[in-house]
Amino acid sequence: MNKHTKLAILVAPILAVVGYIAADYYSEYQAKQDKIFQLVSDRHCDVLAHKCVLKSGKFQVSIYDEAGITTVNATFPLDNATLFLVDNHNQGKSYPLGMKDSPYYWQSKTPLRLLLEHNDKTQKMRLIASIKGGKYLAEFYTNQLK
């Protein structure tokens, strides 16, 4: 065995360990990068009747309102969530949601019921939900059926 082969046998395990650690750091860095996903409703959205589900792949968000408390329920734990009620001039008023019982449930007191009564039973809404660097965005209308 010549000296180059001996050196290669000694250095190869060290390079393998260093490469493994570097790959782990790189994949962790990539996972933390901001990504934006769109949430869409596959059917009619009625927040007051508990019939509003937004989807993006396997991630789903259910939005409903009970007694002036608007709640967001997600299939994965959220880092934070913000709900916007949009007026006729396309200006949104933000309602940061606070964690209810677990990171799957977020809620805030909103005037959604009053707005639906005064806006011909239709309200434009936006939602931003964050999960580990991923931002899930939605813009949708909720319609109260008669």
5: helix, strand or coil: helix
Contact 82, 96 (CB under 8 A): yes
State the average pLDDT over residues 16-39. Answer: 89
pLDDT at 128: 95
130: nearest Cα among 78, 60, 59: 78
What type of residue is 18? V
Architecture, CATH, for domain 35-143 = Sandwich (2.60)
**Ranges of each domain in the chain:** 1-33, 35-143
For all residues of the chain together, what is the average pLDDT? 89
Identify the pLDDT of residue 22: 94
Note the pLDDT tens digit of each residue in 29-85.
887 778 899 999 878 888 888 899 999 999 999 999 998 899 999 999 999 999 999
CA–CA distance, 46 with 121 (Å, rounded to integer): 10
Residue 127 has pLDDT above 90, yes or no: yes
User: Rounded to whole angstroms, how far apart are CA atoms 133 and 112?
Assistant: 29
Largest CA distance in the chain: 88
Residue with tokens 């050196």: 7
Q: How confident is the model at residue 116 (pLDDT cuts 50, 70, 90)?
A: confident
Q: Is residue 103 predicted with pLDDT exceeding 80?
A: yes
C-alpha to C-alpha distance for 121 and 49, rounded to whole angstroms:
12
Amino acid 67: pLDDT: 87
